[in-house]
Structure 1
Amino acid sequence: MSEQVTVASGATAPALRPASTWADELRATFTLAWPLVVAQVAQNALTATDVIMTGWLGPEFLAAGTLATTFLMPFLVLGFGIVGAVAPLVAQARGARNIKAVRRVVRQGLWAGIAVAAALIPLLLQIKPIFTALGQDPDATILAEQYVQIAVWMLFPALAIVALRSLLSAFDDTRIILWITLGGVVFNAAVNYALIFGNFGLPRLELRGSAIATVLTNVVMFGLMLTYVLRHRRFKRFNLMIRFWKPDWPRFRQIFRIGTPIGLTVLSEVGLFTAAALLMGLLGTDEVAAHAVALQCASMAFMVPLGLGIAATVRVGTAYGRGDAEGVRKAGWTAFVLGTGFMTLTCVLFLTMGPLIVSGFLDPRSAANTNALGLAVTFLAVAGLFQIVDGAQVVAAHALRGLSDTTVPMITAIIGYWLIGLPVAYVMGFVLQWRGVGIWLGLAAGLGIVAVVLVARFAMRQRLGLMRGLT
């Protein structure tokens, strides 16, 4: 039987039509992106809730929880990137009106999530010997191990959520992602409060309670998302769970072929900022505190171009799937203008209102904070300067993912971040003695190089043969 199945007329058909004008594309991108932006902010709130409540237990628990989540994060990012390949593949299948391909891609995305989680969990459970070899504090290591032994099981539902979220995003149904994520924040806070401190007649489990809350929150969010996909009339026709055990090895391999470079790309960027934090630790406590403040501000601003980037993957992928070269052009550049436009505003904000912003994190009335406050304002100014290139690189990378172009962006990221950004940070920070400012300038250099290459690659997509699969 032919794989090509025409999308039924109805709610999905208008969304498949190409945007006739730039204004139409702007509206379509904004409508798709804004729930994703808010959902990304809410996702950060999940982690913030854990940090706040474990901090109430005491500094030793907060330190152990921070060590544990720092250990988990690179593996999570890698897994999210791999399964995230579902998004461009589903968008392309939708653009081509190939319903059977949508079902098979999402199903194999769930398979990929299971496979990645099964491969990573045994490694993550070795946290104690790894931390011991790295010379971490024995007491903190024991507490971190208690957290990780439970929290690792979140990988199965968390990676499955990525596959389902990719399906919903590709079909412009992003508001449900927002509502489920917001519900997850509330649920996570309630379960944390109950299990960490032993409230509501439940046992006091301290750090283990936080880990259980994390697992349960991801299970609930996955359950809600799966129920929505299986019951909503728009998605019931995909029959995702029918013959779930039936393999589709070509698509399974395709997800890993496209998704592994995505995971390594994101991992290289996360790793650069982790390395920068370690370099700050060599300079002193004030530098670390100032770095944390500036990084938190930059991270919050980053959620907007990230959400626009996810929307760009969907819009570009859908246009690519339906064979619409002009649609690819409009979708990519519209998201780029929106992303860099917003980051231009945050650049101005960071440069002009730095003292006011950092005073929300560090009490300016305390003499002990004077040095850290001054450093934070300076770091935030440098962060403001690289806001535009940071927004440009994330939108460009996601637009290229819509064309299934992930290997060259991965190589670009590794070279830009690790062979240029990190060495520049070290030389400026320690050789030239620019200290923390030099480290942040190194981050800016790495992001700037990657942004220039990726934006140029999208601009030259025809010449580089990235559109050759256009149907």
Structure 2
Amino acid sequence: MKAISRLALPIMLSQLSVAAAGFIDTMMAGHFSSNALAGAAVGSSLCFPFIIALSGVMMAVTPITAQFTGAGRVEEAGRVARQALWVALFFAGLLFVGIRYVDPLLVLMNTTEEVVPIVKGYLEGISYGFPAIACYFVLKSYVEGIGRTQPQMVISLATVPFNYVANDILIYGKFGMPALGGAGCGWASGLTFWFFFLMMLLYAAGSSACRDGKIFSEFNLPSVAGIRELLKLGLPIGGTIFMECSIFACITLFLGVLGPVVVGGHQIALNYSGLVFSIPLSIGMALTIRSGHAIGAADLEGARFSCFTGCLMAMAVSLFTLSFTLIFAESIVAIYTKDPEVSAVAVSLLTFGALYQFSDAIMATSQGALRGYKDATVTFILTFTAYWVITLPLGYTLSMTDLLVPAMGARGFWLSLIAGLSISGVFLGLRLNQVSKRGVADVATLVGCDVQGEGPRQKAA
């Protein structure tokens, strides 16, 4: 528990800081106007699933680096990171171009005329930060993989005041700048992405901990073999994270037809849930590193033990956060907005959001542990089934139709999230048990070869 906590605590503080930036966006846009809040909510729902998916692809660098580090082959991890930078820039370029063609989607969503220009302004501003955040994901994943989680914590904590000042200037129009309202959140986020990248670049270039990997002392052109190695693991991880993130984005887009009050309340509940989710997510990321190091050192029993210890830790914490959310829902919402209509929607949704936190904890830690085993393809299939085969159809039926019950609005989608996340947690927990048990059994088989003169290391080779 100590070892996991040493890795997880800096990651958690980093995740909370990143979530705090989203909280600042939501809070400041909400205090500007309900239209500004709705525009920022729709804009973030359109782009952040792709940003998070990109982070998932680059997350493949962490388990690869962790296993190389555990095996004492750090220079090979540096090679992977250099190839990952090329991949990051390629995907960032695609996203930069694609985000400018959302007009048909906004029409399809029946987005209100007052909100459309806010959404487009938000997306334009944030797009200029895509190359920076993509490269940041690579460097962060490499630094995590070698077992250093404190740098991202320090950088993320420093980013919070930067993001606040940028929002204050651009949303409300200070120091001679025009008041951009909700669109200012996008421009502030783009600037914040560059701050993230430059700070991590300074650390990676100057840190003795990163020197053995020789990330910047060598130059490699894109390699088909290197990129294939990265994408083989990264695409399923990115796809899994995209499945999770996009389901929330789709819900926001479906709710857009119900007006800015419902969207605003939904966004507040979603933002707070993201803050809480950062805790099990951080433990899961720590398990990626911990299990990766153990697997690289051929300690499969230690890897399995660490994984299930981390899962139990996250489940225990989720019982506390669940209770806290139910007790203080009204006080939590009051931090975000003073609008009584938006507050009423948000409080009712937070009650539903609290109920899936236990399942969320199992899902997040199991996913992180499975990444340490480089087990990503089955995870992607299980997540797709839970979210897109079960959650979204059920949520749409409950929220927007009268097929099962009278249309429930936003509450129907949140009820379906409870079902989807619970199923996902069960699926992934069973998969982790299967994969980790198989790893221990394989080692036991290899050890048994010693009596015939062939040791486990030779047999593995």
Match of 1:452 in 2: 426
Q: 1:440 to 1:149 in 2, by over 3 A?
A: closer
Q: Deviations over 1:241-300 (max 9, x none)?
A: 233343343231122121111122112122222343455566777765654444344322
Give SS of 2:116's match: helix
- Report the Cα offset of residue 145 of structure 1: 2.7
Match of 1:406 in 2: 376
AA in 1 matched with 2:395 = A
* Unmatched 5+ stretches in structure 1: 1-25
- Contact 2:265–2:346 under 8 Å retained in 1: yes
Match of 1:443 in 2: 417
Which residue of 403, 419, 429 corresponds with 1:431?
Answer: 403
Give SS of 2:435's match: coil
Match of 1:417 in 2: 387
Match of 1:199 in 2: 174
Q: 1:440 to 1:148 in 2, by over 3 A?
A: closer
AA in 1 matched with 2:388 = W
Match of 2:149 in 1: 174
- Report the Cα offset of residue 444 of structure 1: 1.2
Match of 1:232 in 2: 207
Runs of 4+ in 1 over 6 A off after TM superposition: 282-286, 465-471
- Contact 2:43–2:122 under 8 Å retained in 1: yes
Q: Deviations over 1:95-142 (max 9, x none)?
A: 111122111111112111111112222211213344345443455434
Q: Structure 2: how far apart are the matches of 1:360 and 1:150?
A: 26
* Unmatched 5+ stretches in structure 2: 444-459
1:392 corresponds to 2:362: yes
- Report the Cα offset of residue 232 of structure 1: 1.4
Q: 1:344 to 1:65 in 2, by over 3 A?
A: closer
Q: Structure 1: how far apart are the matches of 2:214 and 2:280?
A: 33
- Report the Cα offset of residue 361 of structure 1: 5.2
Q: Deviations over 1:40-92 (max 9, x none)?
A: 11112223333444456555444433332222112212211111111111111
Give SS of 1:237's match: helix
Match of 1:30 in 2: 5
Match of 2:101 in 1: 126
Q: 1:129 to 1:452 in 2, by over 3 A?
A: closer
1:105 corresponds to 2:80: yes
AA in 2 matched with 1:388 = F
Q: Deviations over 1:145-170 (max 9, x none)?
A: 33323421211110111111112222
Match of 1:49 in 2: 24
- Report the Cα offset of residue 433 of structure 1: 2.0
The correspondence of residues 272-421 of structure 1 with structure 2, limited to 5 A, is 272-278=247-253, 291-354=266-329, 357-358=332-333, 369=341, 373=344, 379-421=349-391
Q: Structure 2: how far apart are the matches of 1:68 and 1:203?
A: 21
Match of 1:163 in 2: 138
TM-score, scaled to structure 1: 0.83
TM-score, scaled to structure 2: 0.85
- Report the Cα offset of residue 404 of structure 1: 0.8
Instruction: Identify which range, 60-69 or 83-92, moves more after superposition.
Output: 60-69
- Contact 1:291–1:379 under 8 Å retained in 2: yes
AA in 1 matched with 2:59 = G
